[in-house]
């Protein structure tokens, strides 16, 4: 009887349904279990990516882009002005930076969100 059980166990282990017997204390997991864990990890990663995408879209939709969302069309558009020593870059409804023309060092000057207060 023991030999039949051992034989069936070896077949199941060869097919990946049961862990293969090991000589040490380090147990192995079956191929089916490893596949399930890999699939779960991929599903969790994809779920997190999709949640992040939804959060970004929700944030964008809840922002105030002025009357009738007039500034949405130009959001993120950048305008640069070289004044000799510095180049200033204004990205609409995003950031303002000052870049040194000598060493290319960037300085963050803040956000261009004041356009909405002018409306």
Instruction: Report the predicted TM-score, pTM, of the whole model to 2 decimal places.
Output: 0.47
Output the CA–CA distances (angstroms, integers) from residue 65 to 13, 37, 79, in the order listed.
61, 44, 19
Mean pLDDT score across all residues of the chain: 83
Q: pLDDT tens for residues 31-54?
A: 788 889 899 999 999 999 999 999
CA distance 42 to 4: 38
Q: Where are the domains of the chain?
A: 2-62, 67-118
What 8-state DSSP symbol labels residue 44? H
- Residues 101, 115 contacting (CB under 8 angstroms): no
């Amino acid at each position: 009887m023991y030999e039949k059980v051992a034989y069936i166990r070896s077949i199941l282990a060869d097919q990946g349904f049961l862990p293969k017997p090991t000589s040490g204390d380090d147990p192995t997991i079956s191929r089916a279990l490893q596949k399930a864990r890999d699939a779960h990890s991929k599903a969790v990663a994809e779920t997190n990516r999709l949640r992040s995408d939804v959060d970004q879209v929700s944030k964008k939709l809840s922002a105030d882009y002025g009357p009738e969302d007039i500034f949405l069309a130009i959001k993120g558009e950048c305008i640069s002005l070289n004044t000799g020593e510095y180049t200033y870059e204004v990205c609409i409804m995003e950031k303002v930076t000052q870049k040194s023309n000598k060493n290319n060092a960037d300085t963050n000057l803040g956000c261009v969100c004041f356009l909405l207060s002018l409306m």
